[in-house]
Chains A and B, each alone.
Chain A
Amino acid sequence: MPLNRSKLVEIVQNIPAFPQSVNQVIAMTSNAMCPPKKLVQVIERDPILTMKVLKLVNSAFFGLSKEVTSVQHSVVYVGLNTVKNVAISVAMSGVLPETNDAGLDMDAYWKDSLAVGVIAKMLAEQRKIPPNETADYFVAGLLHNIGKVLFAHYFPAEYKEVLGITEEKRIPLHKVEKKLLGLDHCQLGGLLAKEWQLPENLRGVIRHHHTMVKDYGDNKLLVAIIAASQLNHYINGSVGVLPQLPKQVEDYLGAPLIDVADSLENLEREVDKAQAFIDVN
């Protein structure tokens, strides 16, 4: 039962933002004394809101001469007030339901995305990536699985079956998606990323993080997110660990997963810290 492509495209074109952060943004912006950094944090930690803000700021409407790649960057470039207003208008454009009937555990989804984002950021810091770029690694980790949420919200019955088979047979999720639905969450997320005109490297992460290609080209971010995701799978003992890591991912890690995992000090604490902002409960 492959999904209808034109229906997918239509859905992707109308994706709204998530409610919790949206409510927080509205509450914060009605308080003139709210510190700007708090607002930036709330936006940064909501993948959909972040994507929409970046989409709008990078769109032809703004016509900026440089590409904006993070919420912080957009604040410096177009000003806090504009970002605030963008976030509100994005928020006002509609919201997704808070739950889904597909049985996708949103709590677990968030924890997983946060963990990959935090690991990606920590790895980037270890590898002396400049501090203004490490925020992009966190965002990319947070966003890379966005396609799953879209499936769960818009195709609950079909996705429920996918999740059931994945659980029962211990097969990687994206393979079951592909088999049953005709496309996987990378492809669906990729459609959305394209529709939203996200920065090229971020689009690559969403679209290709499960693609087994030998050469990831110049997309360092993609290599970094695959590495972070593999570490996360490894730490959780999940079926997602690849028998053989792509060469570039191996090089980026520079050591076996077990050793790199040991080098991530305070990972849990960092994830908890980030989680507080999303308030998954």
Chain B
Amino acid sequence: MKITMRGVRGSIPVPGPDTVVYGGNTTCHEIRTTSGHLIILDGGSGIRQLGNELLANLPVKCHIFITHTHWDHIQGLPFFIPLFIPGNTMDIYGSFDPVYMKDLRSILSQQMEYCYFPVRECELAATINYHNIREGQAVQVGSATVTPILTNHPVLNYGYKIEDSGKTFFFTGDYEPPVNIYDEEDEEYAGYQQLVDEQQQTLIDFVQGVDVMVADSQYTHEEYPAKTGWGHGTFETNIRLARLANIKEFYFTHHDPMRTDAQLDEIFSEIMSRDNLPDTVFHLAKEGTVIEL
């Protein structure tokens, strides 16, 4: 399969002179399966340019997997031109929102109500099929199998594992490893820690040995105490995950919108200079990066 990073920024698009190297578009990854099928992970602003390029080969048929429906993961969808063209087919997958009791279609339709956008969802000319999928429910797309796992975030968020012709790719979506809500002196601490460890182990088992992993690393270890509970990981939590899950190649993504190219380079080179890193090959995710597996 071939993976192209279309958007690697977290929270909000940040175009400008300070973000030209790593890119300012929000989350979107394009995956071409060995069988030639098109999978898109998330519809952040990065999906817009991808849509423009797809117009060269109509009709467009694609499978869009949404990790969760926070703005930075869906805000590009209304500008994904293939949605407006008859004859195109989009299959959109994601989690039902059990708190608001809304399915994916309702959430995406509301994004396109008149007060937000001039075209309504019901006016989209492409054939759109919505699929509310459950954790662990594998979806076959040509030669690839896509399987969701819940990863901790303020809303339900799916990480997706894609297996194709013996190669594996995993994208966390937004993910903050769960933390113990008790203090060490509390009697509940140990029991809760056991639950946290079990949950972490479930993820480690799920991604054990994947070839390429792309993971939310919005914060540094130093920034994290002020951002605990916001739903994002750190470089350090991800290095730990890469080590425990024996990940071959790892991309830090969901760059903080405040982060300049220079700051990203600085953080990355400091991290790479540390002793005792796992054997994983680490990279900063960069818009336009192409990975062949």
Contacts and interface: CB of A to CB of B under 8 A. Distances in A.
Interface residues of B, number: 33
A76 B180 CA distance: 9
A79 B153 contact: yes
B192 A76 contact: yes
Contacts, number: 83
Interface in A39-89: 40, 56-57, 59, 61-66, 72-73, 75-82, 85-86, 89
B91 to A, nearest CB: 18
A72 B156 contact: no
> How big is the A interface, by class?
20 to 34
Interface SS of chain A: helix, strand, loop or mixed? helix
Interface string B202-241: 1000000000000000000000000001010000000000
Interface in B85-122: 95-96, 98-99, 101
A80 B229 contact: yes
A65 B186 CA distance: 30
Contacts of B137: 63
Nearest to A65: B136
Contacts of A135: 188, 191
Contacts of A2: none
B156 A62 contact: yes
A217 interface: no
Contacts of A77: 150, 199
Contact of A72 (B99, B195, B229): B195
Interface string A183-223: 00000000000000000000000000000000000000000
A72 B188 contact: yes
Contacts of A78: 150, 156
Nearest to A73: B195
Contacts of A85: 99
B135 A37 contact: no
B150 A64 contact: yes
Contacts of B191: 72, 130-132, 134-135
Contacts of B150: 64, 77-78
Contacts of B182: 37
Contacts of A66: 202
Given A37-B188, A77-B199, A81-B155, A63 B135 contact: yes
A151 to B, nearest CB: 30
A78 B68 CA distance: 13
A97 interface: no
B134 A65 contact: yes
Interface string A130-145: 1110110000000000
B257 interface: no
Interface string B171-208: 00000001001110010101110111011001000000
B75 interface: no
A56 B98 CA distance: 8
Contacts of B192: 72, 76, 132
A265 B136 CA distance: 45
A134 B194 CA distance: 12
A141 B194 CA distance: 23
Given A64-B150, A82-B99, A37 B199 contact: no
A57 B98 CA distance: 8
Contacts of A86: 98-99
A169 to B, nearest CB: 43
Contact of B99 (A36, A76, A89): A89
Nearest to B98: A61
B25 interface: no
B98 A59 contact: yes
Interface in B21-51: none
Nearest to A134: B191
Contact of B156 (A40, A76, A82, A131): A82
B96 A61 contact: yes
B181 A79 contact: no
Contact of A37 (B98, B99, B154, B181): B181
Contacts of B202: 66
Contact of B195 (A37, A76, A79): A76
A40 B182 CA distance: 10
Interface of A: 35-37, 40, 56-57, 59, 61-66, 72-73, 75-82, 85-86, 89, 130-132, 134-135
7 contacts: A37-B186, A81-B154, A130-B191, A130-B194, A132-B191, A132-B195, A134-B191
The 6 A-B pairs with the shortest beta carbon distances in the complex, nearest first, are A63-B134, A131-B191, A61-B98, A81-B154, A36-B181, A65-B136
